[in-house]
Amino acid sequence: MARRVFVWAAHPRAGSLCEGLAQAYADGARDEGADVRLLKLSEMAFDVGGFAGYGAPNPPLEPSLQAWQEATTWCEHMLWVHPYWWGAMPAQAKAVLDRALVPGFGFKYRDKGLLWDKLLTGRSADVIITSDTPPLWDTLVYGRPGRRVVRNQVLSFCGVRCQQVRQWGPVKTATPEQRAAWVAEAHRMGRAAAGG
């Protein structure tokens, strides 16, 4: 039975390097027989400011956010690809998490105390982050906040087992050969993901 893989290109601009990496990963997974759904943030239409906090009245999810939730529920493995802006993913990508990765979907707080149930257990994930900050500098000087947050405070919080969090850069000074190498590596990662 084909492995179900959800690939999310979480860059707001169409044609970005992140979209190219997401496509390469998806192609690699398909090459190994995976059933793949690819969703691009650049094609999602929703109210970025439509979240008023947990417990507050919030608008119904738009079809794009419903599709994101459906793909997350459907998949066995996922890839998120996003750029690194001010130490985190873009605001539009974070808005998807704010609006769609909510209590009752990604996790559920227990009635008493501070513990919670992880509602996405059984899934795994890879993450690719592109940055102008050199990854070594980000690690030694900043403590790799973007990688830590997505692994520990988002995916793991919801029960998703993070296999790889890769940060590639600096994009600003990357040669065409370096970009091609990243695309090839994303394809290889997709092939590996299809095998579980």
pLDDT computed for residue 51 by the predictor:
85
Q: How far apart are CA 191 and CA 30, in angstroms?
A: 8
Helix (H, G, I), strand (E, B) or coil at 37: strand
Task: Kindly state the tokens that stand for 117.
Answer: 């149930």
Distance (Å) of CA 109 to CA 55, 58, 62: 12, 18, 24
- Is it the case that residue 77 has pLDDT exceeding 90? yes
Decide: 183 and 166 in contact? Cβ < 8 Å.
Answer: no
Domains of the chain: total: 1
Q: What are the pLDDT digits (tens) for 132-191? A: 999 999 999 999 999 999 999 999 999 999 999 999 999 999 999 999 999 999 999 999
Tokens 């690194």 belong to which residue?
A: 84
pLDDT computed for residue 50 by the predictor:
80
Read off the pLDDT of each residue in 62-76 and give the average, rounded to a whole number: 98
- Which amino acid is located at 114 in the chain? L
Phi/psi of residue 112, nearest 5 degrees: -125, 145
- Is it the case that residue 59 has pLDDT exceeding 90? no
pTM of the model: 0.96
pLDDT computed for residue 171 by the predictor:
97
pLDDT computed for residue 178 by the predictor:
98
Cβ of 140: how many Cβ atoms within 10 Å? 10
Q: For all residues of the chain together, what is the average pLDDT? A: 96
- Is it the case that residue 53 has pLDDT exceeding 90? no
Q: What are the pLDDT digits (tens) for 15-50? A: 999 999 999 999 999 999 999 999 999 999 999 988
* Domain with 140 in it: 4-194
Higher pLDDT, 161 or 52: 161
- Is it the case that residue 1 has pLDDT exceeding 80? no
Report the CATH number at residue 130. Answer: 3.40.50.360
